[in-house]
């Protein structure tokens, strides 16, 4: 049986190797009237272990930037709103959702896991299975590390998953669901599309990205819905020497 866990002994590269100089900016509640929210919260509905924490929190400066992004959107599309899907995610929640995705991917491949769902660890019977699943899962999901030097982006309180809602209160079609682990999730998947519908998907994604970028956010390279400001991914993408947000709480 193969046992995998993530902690102080893991090797890191890419954005996870960026040093963190924590600025101490507090986690604050996202005001209920400022945005539209996905309800019920998608991970809480799956009994993810929040332990009394609210998912609707961000670092104070990140929230201020998100409010600015909403203002930017309103200029371009009066009456439209940012629709939030997920924000703060404690490490146990990240682990729960990642190992749930491992189980889902194993099922799609006609395989099974010995166990999953425990914070920070996964057990499989086939020594090759972990690598096959990890290549797919970690293309989209952050590693649920409990190492303070390599926090999952959402566990810093500096990352947000979101989409758009139009002036009539309808969620805008972005051509793929949030958390979909396929090429449709790539931000520019529809950039060269010929059909008017698919071109509209790209235009909607571009609108979201422009509003967020105007407020200082950077977008995940593989996910049209994920944006961050101040975490390791942001610093790596922006060429900053260090991140200003580590693991919150």
Q: Which residues are catalytic?
A: 223
> What are φ and ψ of residue 57, in 5° steps?
-135, 150
What is the rounded CA–CA span in Å between residue 236 and residue 12? 13
Q: Nearest CA to 38 among 165, 209, 142?
A: 165
- How many Cα neighbours within 13 Å face the side chain of 226? 22
- Tell me how far apart the alpha carbons of residues 221 and 188 are, in angstroms, rounded to a whole number: 9
- CA proximity to 124, closest of 111, 135, 138: 111
210 vs 34: CA distance, rounded Å: 19
């Amino acid at each position: 049986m193969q046992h995998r866990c993530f902690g102080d002994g893991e090797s890191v590269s890419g954005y996870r190797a960026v040093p963190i100089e924590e600025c101490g900016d507090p986690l604050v509640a996202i005001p209920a009237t400022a945005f539209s929210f996905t309800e019920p919260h998608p991970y809480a509905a799956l009994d993810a272990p929040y332990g009394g924490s609210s998912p609707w929190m961000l670092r104070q400066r990140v929230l201020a930037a998100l409010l600015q992004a909403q203002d930017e959107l309103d200029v371009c599309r009066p009456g439209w709103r940012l629709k939030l899907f997920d924000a703060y995610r404690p490490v146990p929640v990240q682990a729960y959702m990642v190992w749930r995705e491992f189980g889902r991917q194993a099922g799609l491949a006609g395989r099974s896991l010995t166990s999953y769902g425990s914070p920070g660890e996964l057990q499989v019977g086939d020594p090759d299975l972990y690598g096959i699943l990890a290549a797919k899962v970690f293309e989209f999901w952050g590693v649920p590390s409990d190492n303070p030097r390599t926090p999952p982006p959402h566990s810093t309180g500096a990352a947000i998953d979101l989409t758009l809602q139009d002036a009539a209160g309808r969620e805008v079609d972005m051509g793929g669901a949030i958390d979909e682990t396929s090429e449709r999730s790539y931000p520019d998947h529809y950039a060269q599309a010929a059909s008017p519908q698919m071109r509209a998907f790209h235009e909607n994604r571009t609108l979201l990205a422009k509003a967020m970028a105007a407020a200082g956010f950077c977008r995940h390279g593989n996910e049209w819905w994920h944006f961050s400001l101040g975490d390791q991914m942001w610093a790596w993408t922006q060429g900053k020497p260090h991140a200003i947000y580590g693991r919150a709480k």
